């Protein structure tokens, strides 16, 4: 048993009964019968890839996020790569991004032979701090890669101005933020290019998949070619026009999303409003339930933002706890609450340390990393699931609180 005084029932990690008997994951997909039927219908059709479902999904998705064009990719990472390519990043160029993100955001800059330059985040939202970006921006900057951490839009107005002032692109990694709004406008039609992911933990899934939304027809065309080997027409166009001739005009990849996946995406898109509403309801319940816990800092929401809540990351006020983040994390897992940590700062990964290691520190991001814990957040969570998370957090924090 712990040497600490037991204020409440014993924690599961100390031999008590866990708050729930099965592990609640931090995120998961929801698939209905009609999602499955949509996939089956494509399997029985003429086109398994680059058929009618791809265009239909791209158009409907773009309309939903308020963009003129949508270009689908085989993953969010491939979509980021496409955006870095379309922005013209190459050797000698720099892309500015946040250290507090999934490594793919920075990796896509490296894919193009350019250098990722990290800028620290704002303490409230943990999104790129425009002031830090303005310290790092230079004639070498080709693009700013902003991330909408946890689903809260980045400071898109200030970052957009900074990019424009240098003739650079604002690329928004909105993999967390499908359905979010900034100053009353939907994320997707604001930045030069906005990137989404359809990984199963995200708001909408196609298994693997991604999309770039843009209002710029030329960028959209480059993105379409890039994801199809750099070829300037599609096989279906040629078949329907009775033509065999095609031209490869740039060095692209096979990053296409299948019709099977797009049919699933179309079906899932119908459920996005309900999914978002449920996530916002859960976030409001968490925020209300933890209001009186001084040992926890709940996610901030700025006035101009309407977040999409991919994650609900709390920060521990370690000064008010007798143990560190690791012990709180393990205690919550023992209660069968599938907490997670987002993110290990990108520059701390061995690949980055060994190649680009510098004395540079990012105090806000690094401090946040030592305190962050993501609580379960997905749309099919039941009222009981939400209650279990709240009870477990209150039990664990209450136990270790000074």
Contact set with ligand PLP (CB under 6 A):
75-77, 101-102, 104-105, 147, 173, 175-176, 197, 199, 210
Tokens of 148: 């909408």
Rounded alpha-carbon distances, angstroms, from residue 361 to 296, 317, 365: 25, 21, 9
Select 256 or 395, whichever has its Cβ closest to ligand PLP. Answer: 256
Shortest distance, position 101 Cβ to ligand PLP, whole Å: 5
Select 75 or 331, whichever has its Cβ closest to ligand PLP. Answer: 75
Among the listed residues 72, 109, 35, 26, the one whose alpha carbon sits nearest the alpha carbon of residue 333: 26
Among all residues, whose Cβ is closest to ligand PLP?
76
The sheet carrying 372-375 orders its strands as 296-297, 312-316, 372-375
Beta strands in 192-332 (DSSP E): 193-197, 210-214, 296-297, 305-306, 312-316
Select 199 or 395, whichever has its Cβ closest to ligand PLP. Answer: 199
Cβ count near 387 (within 10 Å): 15
Phi, psi at 195, each rounded to 5°:
-110, 135
Rounded alpha-carbon distances, angstroms, from residue 62 to 83, 160, 189: 16, 20, 9
Shortest distance, position 130 Cβ to ligand PLP, whole Å: 19
The active-site residue out of 136, 142, 185, 202 is 202
Select 18 or 188, whichever has its Cβ closest to ligand PLP. Answer: 188
Select 18 or 95, whichever has its Cβ closest to ligand PLP. Answer: 95
Shortest distance, position 198 Cβ to ligand PLP, whole Å: 6
Shortest distance, position 334 Cβ to ligand PLP, whole Å: 27
Beta strands in 99-189 (DSSP E): 115-118, 141-147, 169-173, 181-182, 185-186
Shortest distance, position 210 Cβ to ligand PLP, whole Å: 5
Quick check: is 202 catalytic? yes
Among the listed residues 321, 275, 255, 326, the one whose alpha carbon sits nearest the alpha carbon of residue 294: 321
Q: List active site positions.
A: 202
């Amino acid at each position: 048993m712990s040497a600490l005084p037991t204020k409440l029932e014993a924690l599961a990690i100390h031999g008590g009964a866990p708050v729930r008997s099965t592990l609640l994951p931090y995120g998961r997909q929801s698939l209905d019968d009609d999602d499955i039927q949509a996939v089956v219908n494509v399997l029985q059709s003429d086109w398994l890839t680059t058929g009618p479902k791809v265009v239909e999904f791209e158009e409907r998705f773009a309309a939903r996020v308020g963009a003129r064009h949508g270009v689908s990719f085989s993953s969010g990472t491939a979509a980021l790569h496409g955006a870095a390519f379309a922005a013209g990043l190459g050797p000698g160029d720099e892309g500015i991004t946040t250290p507090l993100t999934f490594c793919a955001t920075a990796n896509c800059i490296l894919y193009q032979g350019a250098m990722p330059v990290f800028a620290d985040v704002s303490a409230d939202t943990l999104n790129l701090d425009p002031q830090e970006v303005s310290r790092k921006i230079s004639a070498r900057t080709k693009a700013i890669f902003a991330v909408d951490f946890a689903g809260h839009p980045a400071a898109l107005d200030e970052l957009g101005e900074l990019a424009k002032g240098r003739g650079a692109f604002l690329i928004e990694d909105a993999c967390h933020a499908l359905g979010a709004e900034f100053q009353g406008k939907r994320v997707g039609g604001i930045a030069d290019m906005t990137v989404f992911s359809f990984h199963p933990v995200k708001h909408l899934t196609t298994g693997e998949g991604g999309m770039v939304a843009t209002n710029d027809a030329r960028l959209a065309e480059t993105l379409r070619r890039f994801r199809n080997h750099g070829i300037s027409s599609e096989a279906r166009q040629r078949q329907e026009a009775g033509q065999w001739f095609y031209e490869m005009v740039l060095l692209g990849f096979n990053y296409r999303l299948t019709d099977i996946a797009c049919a699933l995406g179309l079906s899932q898109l119908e459920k996005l409003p309900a999914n978002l509403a449920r996530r916002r309801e859960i976030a409001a319940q968490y925020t209300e339930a933890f209001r009186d816990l001084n040992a926890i800092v709940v996610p901030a929401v700025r006035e101009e933002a309407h977040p999409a809540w991919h994650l609900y990351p709390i920060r521990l006020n370690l000064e008010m706890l007798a143990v560190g983040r690791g012990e709180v994390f393990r205690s919550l897992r023992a209660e069968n609450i599938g907490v997670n940590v987002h993110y290990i700062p990108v520059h701390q990964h061995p690949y980055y340390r060994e190649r680009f290691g510098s004395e540079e520190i990012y105090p806000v991001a690094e401090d946040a990393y030592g305190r962050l814990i993501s609580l379960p957040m997905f749309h099919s969570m039941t009222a009981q699931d939400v209650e279990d998370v709240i009870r477990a957090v209150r039990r664990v924090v209450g136990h270790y609180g000074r």
